[in-house]
Amino acid sequence: MRVYKFGGASVKDADGVKNLAKVLQTTGYDNTLVVISAMGKTTNSMELVIKNYFENKDELQSALHDVIKYHNDIMVDLFSNNHHQVFKDVKAFFDELSLFFKSNKSPDYNYVYDQVIGYGELISTTIISHYLNEIDLKNNWVDVRELIKTDNYYRHSNINWEATQTNISSHININILNITQGFLGSDANNFTTTLGREGSDYTAAIFAYCLNANSVTIWKDVPGVLNADPRFFKNTQLLHQISYREAIELAFYGASVIHPKTLQPLQQKEIPLYVKSFLNPKGNGTCVSKGKDLEPEIPCFIVKKNQTLISLSSLDFSYIMEENISDIFSLLHLYKMKVDVIQNSAISFSVCIDNLYDNLEKLLQHLKAKFNVTCNRNVSLYTIRNYNDLAIKELEKDKTILLKQLTQGTVQIVTK
């Protein structure tokens, strides 16, 4: 049993869908489960729909129409018969979405987000499943929400592994090609939940763990795991093999090629992860597997943009003690801040955070009641794994350094 995952970039248009089919034909598709994301930038478009629902209802239908048109154009390119069942199935999803907007009574943004955002995945997999059947790649479309069960921590739900294992083991036929959605699950009340932005990799790992898969392959528009993101760094190099431990470190620090939670279930069962290019399916790509001797021998660079650096000091120049730090972390947890770096001295404490839930202003007001607060917004956090002096020097060139922290094997630098 193999698990494949295709992201939005791989199915952004009709040609992408056709190429996905070619990848399956090239590599084989028996005993395969394929996890697929929303098409192209659909998730961004759906976030605009949600924003308009809450803030600008006059623009809601226009934003939704753009999403409908985008998918309809792809279907027209893929299916010569405009009466094909796929058009009816996709319309049914959009009708269901429109009904939700009319009937919803909940003011909870996170709940609404999860009920709406997943239609991107449901629609993309419906289109792709129909297309594969059309070209005789017979497959079974699976609603992942019926299998992956979670708590109701909307937008970042936690897996109920026991229920999920039972569902997947009893409902997935491993002898055929299965098509399902990434990113989604459902809670005990069967409301849709999501696993965190870019969570489709994690979905693939969940299925692999529950099915005791032989491997997971993530199909990307890059040749594999590179030592840096080519959008931000020059002269990047392919890492042919890396260990689970190093991949987890890279993902934790923000390497976008692998979702942070993906490696843990795979490592537990020693299921190898391959990262390959959907443009070159026969290429070797990168293999992530067990082995202490698989650490990269070159510096690996990671950048996270649009971060926030908060620096605190005591109002009366007293020490920042354990009790203060405990209070700070309680507030960070309360306002759902993703902590990336911390640094403290006798009378100061700095933390670089990712304001995922847009709660920064509430957090700052709370902190100002107890501390002197300095806030630097829109900073960049750079991390270098396996650093050397030259790598640090090149990174720091022409940048204003706000915070720098070196530990064994890792340096983190916050810049303005």
Query: pLDDT tens for residues 245-297?
Result: 899 889 889 887 787 789 999 999 999 999 999 999 999 999 999 986 666 78
The sign one gets for the Cα dihedral 358, 413, 322, 318 is negative
Q: How many CB atoms lie within 10 A of CB 396?
A: 15
- Following DSSP, what letter does each residue of 1-49 receive, concatenated? -EEEEE-GGGGSSHHHHHHHHHHHHHH--TTEEEEE--STTHHHHHHHH
Q: pLDDT tens, 204-260?
A: 999 999 999 999 999 999 999 999 999 899 999 999 999 998 998 898 898 877 877
Q: pLDDT tens, 37-70?
A: 999 999 999 999 999 999 999 999 999 999 999 9
Instruction: Compute the distance between CA of residue 196 and CA of residue 207 in angstroms, rounded to an integer.
Output: 17
- Following DSSP, what letter does each residue of 171-220 receive, concatenated? H--TTSEEEEESSEEE-TT--EEE-STTTHHHHHHHHHHHHT-SEEEEEE
Q: Name, in order, each residue with C-beta under 8 angstroms of 303's C-beta and a sequence gap of 6 or more.
A: 229, 232, 233, 254, 380, 381, 382, 383
Percentage of residues in the chain with pLDDT exceeding 90? 91
Domains of the chain, first to last: 2-213 (3.40.1160.10), 300-415 (3.30.2130.10)
**Residues β-bridged to residue 127:** none
pLDDT of residue 142: 98
Let me know how long the chain is.
416
Per-residue pLDDT, averaged over 331-350, amounts to 95
SS3 assignment, position 372: strand
pLDDT of residue 317: 86
pLDDT of residue 197: 78
Percentage of residues in the chain with pLDDT exceeding 70? 99
pLDDT of residue 280: 96
**Residues β-bridged to residue 309:** 352, 376
Q: pLDDT tens, 99-122?
A: 999 999 999 999 999 999 999 999
Instruction: Compute the distance between CA of residue 82 and CA of residue 69 in angstroms, rounded to an integer.
Output: 14
Per-residue pLDDT, averaged over 389-411, amounts to 96
Q: Is 377 part of any known ligand binding site?
A: no
pLDDT of residue 296: 77
Per-residue pLDDT, averaged over 88-97, amounts to 98
Mean pLDDT of the chain: 95
pLDDT of residue 172: 97
Q: Quote the pTM value.
A: 0.86
